[in-house]
A and B are shown apart, each in its own frame.
Chain A
Amino acid sequence: AQSVTQLDSHVSVSEGTPVLLRCNYSSSYSPSLFWYVQHPNKGLQLLLKYTSAATLVKGINGFEAEFKKSETSFHLTKPSAHMSDAAEYFCVVSPPINTGNQFYFGTGTSLTVIP
Chain B
Amino acid sequence: NAGVTQTPKFQVLKTGQSMTLQCAQDMNHEYMSWYRQDPGMGLRLIHYSVGAGITDQGEVPNGYNVSRSTTEDFPLRLLSAAPSQTSVYFCASRLGPLNYGYTFGSGTRLTVV
Interface residues of A (CB under 8 A from B): 32, 34, 36, 41-46, 49, 51, 90, 92, 96-101, 103, 105-108
Contact of B107 among A42, A49, A98, A106 (CB under 8 A): A42
User: Is the CB–CB distance between B99 and A99 below 8 Å?
Assistant: no
- Count how many pairs of residues, one from A and one from B, have CB atoms less than 8 Å apart in the complex: 57
Total residues of chain B contacting the partner, CB 8 A: 24
Is the contact region of chain B dominated by helix, strand, or loop, or is it mixed?
strand
User: Is the CB–CB distance between B43 and A105 below 8 Å?
Assistant: yes
User: Is the CB–CB distance between A43 and B105 below 8 Å?
Assistant: yes
User: Is the CB–CB distance between B106 and A43 below 8 Å?
Assistant: yes
In chain B, positions 82-101 with a C-beta closer than 8 Å to chain A are 90, 92, 97-101
Q: Compute how far the CA of A44 lies from the CA of B94 in the bound complex, rounded to whole angstroms.
A: 13
Given A43-B106, A46-B103, 17 extra CB contacts under 8 A: A32-B101, A41-B107, A42-B106, A43-B104, A43-B105, A44-B43, A46-B102, A49-B99, A51-B99, A96-B99, A97-B97, A97-B98, A100-B56, A101-B45, A101-B58, A105-B43, A107-B42
Q: Compute how far the CA of A46 lies from the CA of B103 in the bound complex, rounded to whole angstroms.
A: 7
Interface residues of B (CB under 8 A from A): 4, 31, 33, 40, 42-43, 45, 48, 50, 56, 58, 90, 92, 97-107
Is the contact region of chain A dominated by helix, strand, or loop, or is it mixed?
loop
Query: Which B residues are CB-close (under 8 A) to A42?
Result: 106-107
Contact of A32 among B50, B90, B99, B103 (CB under 8 A): B99
If A43-B90, A101-B58 touch, whether A49 touches B106 (CB-CB below 8 Å) is no
User: Is the CB–CB distance between B104 and A34 below 8 Å?
Assistant: no
CB distance from A32 to the nearest CB of B (A): 5
If A100-B50, A107-B42 touch, whether A45 touches B104 (CB-CB below 8 Å) is yes
Q: Compute how far the CA of A101 lies from the CA of B31 in the bound complex, rounded to whole angstroms.
A: 9
